[in-house]
Amino acid sequence: MSAPVASEPEVVLIGAGVLGLFTAHALAQRMDPSRILVLDRGYLSAGASGRNGGGVRQQWEDPITVRWAKEGVRVYRRFARDFGFNPWFRQGGYCFLAFSEEERARLRRMEGVVRGEGLPIRWLEADALQERVPRLDPPGLLGGTELSSDGVIYPFPVLWGLRASLLRLGVRIRTRTEVVGIDRDAKGVQGVRTREGRIPVRRVVNVAGGASRSVSALAGLRVPNVPSRHEILATEAVKPLFDPMVVTLRRGSYFSQSMRGEIIGGLAPERAEPAGEGLPSSSRFLHDASAELTELFPSLARLRVLRSWAGLYDETPDGFPILGEDPRLPGFFQGNGFGGHGFMLAPAGAPRLAALVLGESTDLDPGKFGPGRFSSPGASPREGLVLG
């Protein structure tokens, strides 16, 4: 039995998160939009694209990641004009904090990389940093970097705007449609199977985020990226206290203040949290994140936490995403492994992924981004500032 569709799609994208929708939009500019089908097992924003802190930063250790993040900033600055939905992109900056000489040296090296890409990053000693971020008063602070054009976005309008634009173009989007199988033969992909039926297609794009490992398994492929659970909390609203997102290397913690006055943030778990069933928050996270927040901002010790939630990071061993046709299965394209940084990097990654799906050349280094890079011997480059 085949699922009823207006016409057989040329491309099926599995995942309607920020990368999947941006990729579908890039494809729709270069092919018949009605031949593009986006499937998602949940509702729009059910995955990590609706569960993140909205950070968009350009402070990275690898020049390519900095360039991609710069592209993302440009897209979000004009998003309201281009898509008709305001994502409330606030460029209040990011401050990375150093508490040891090792962290100071690392951030100074990163500062050089970012400045080399033309961004006005600066180093602030502890006193100047505390002037930039009022109420910041942790013990042992040595200083940190600051880049004022980094910022925070409200994720939901981005998804709404992309979806509305795609539907106007004629792209088909099916939520609550789970892919349960991927058909293949010696020539490559032959179709996808959902609970509603089979859809013949020769090109499938795995943009399923935290579920991408499972989608690869449906195609008979083992991949190195692993989903892990990360949590976020939000406090009661207070008067405006600080503009920048504050980030630490020692714990991978991050905190920002929303326009409504809530303090929103999280931290890297001490050990990888398996995805598990559902996405519950934990008392341990509430304890650890609250302790971290009050150590950074002692005057906020009596602030009440209103809610917390969890989402999945789709993490790769080297910190770079996986983009391109999987060499083991013609017609099966990987677009995943963005960790917790899909919103920052999707605007740049999506058009490159779309070009690969259409057989076009790109500036992507397959040794850094390609699906086959983990099977090659030798050390690969690494993006170390994958935090949170």
Average pLDDT over residues 298-310: 94
Could you tell me the CA-to-CA distances from 11 to 8, 30, 33, 176 in Å, in that order? 9, 12, 10, 19
Q: Is the pLDDT of residue 203 over 70?
A: yes
pLDDT band at 281 (very low <50, low <70, confident <90, very high): confident
For residue 90, the model assigns a pLDDT of 95
Segments in the chain forming alpha helices (H): 18-28, 63-77, 79-83, 101-116, 126-132, 155-169, 212-218, 283-296, 342-357, 366-369
Q: Determine the Cα–Cα distance for residues 324 and 364; give it in Å rounded to an integer.
A: 9
For residue 278, the model assigns a pLDDT of 64
pLDDT band at 374 (very low <50, low <70, confident <90, very high): confident
Q: Is the pLDDT of residue 5 over 60?
A: no
Q: Do the beta carbons of residue 65 and residue 77 sit within 8 Å?
A: no
For residue 188, the model assigns a pLDDT of 96
Order of strands across the sheet that contains 254-257: 122-125, 143-147, 94-98, 245-248, 254-257, 263-266, 226-235, 305-315
Q: Which residues contact 185 (CB under 8 A, 6 or more apart)?
A: none
Average pLDDT over residues 211-233: 94
pLDDT tens for each residue of 105-115 = 999 999 999 99
pLDDT tens for each residue of 243-276 = 999 999 999 999 999 999 999 999 988 765 555 5
What percentage of residues in the chain have a pLDDT greater than 70?
Answer: 93
What percentage of residues in the chain have a pLDDT greater than 90?
Answer: 84
For residue 158, the model assigns a pLDDT of 97
Average pLDDT, the chain: 92
Q: Is the pLDDT of residue 377 over 90?
A: no
Query: Which structure tokens are listed for 145?
Result: 């970097």
pLDDT band at 220 (very low <50, low <70, confident <90, very high): very high
Q: Is the pLDDT of residue 2 over 60?
A: no
Q: Is the pLDDT of residue 167 over 50?
A: yes
pLDDT band at 6 (very low <50, low <70, confident <90, very high): low
For residue 112, the model assigns a pLDDT of 97
Number of residues written out for the chain: 388
For residue 277, the model assigns a pLDDT of 57
Better-predicted residue by pLDDT, 283 or 116: 116
Closest to 136 measured CA to CA, from 128, 91, 251, 101: 128
pLDDT band at 387 (very low <50, low <70, confident <90, very high): low
Going by the DSSP 8-state scheme, the letter that residue 197 receives in this structure is: E
Could you tell me the CA-to-CA distances from 164 to 17, 19, 48, 171 in Å, in that order? 14, 15, 20, 10
For strands 226-235 and 305-315, give the pairing. antiparallel
Comparing 117-121, 210-214, 256-260, 279-283, the range with the smallest average pLDDT is 279-283
Report residue 370: phi and psi, to 5°. -70, 150
User: Residue 125 in 3-state DSSP?
Assistant: strand
Average pLDDT over residues 377-383: 61
Q: Determine the Cα–Cα distance for residues 37 and 26; give it in Å rounded to an integer.
A: 13
For residue 367, the model assigns a pLDDT of 87
Average pLDDT over residues 88-94: 95
pLDDT tens for each residue of 21-80 = 999 999 999 999 999 999 999 999 888 998 998 999 999 999 999 999 999 999 999 999
Q: Do the beta carbons of residue 49 and residue 159 sit within 8 Å?
A: yes
Report the alpha-carbon angle 73-232-152, nearest 5: 20
pLDDT band at 3 (very low <50, low <70, confident <90, very high): very low
- What domains appear along the chain, each with residue ranges and CATH number? 11-50+156-225+318-375 (3.50.50.60), 94-147+227-314 (3.30.9.10)
Q: Is the pLDDT of residue 169 over 70?
A: yes
Going by the DSSP 8-state scheme, the letter that residue 187 receives in this structure is: T
Give the distance, in angstroms, between the CA of residue 209 and the centroid of all CA atoms in the same chain: 8
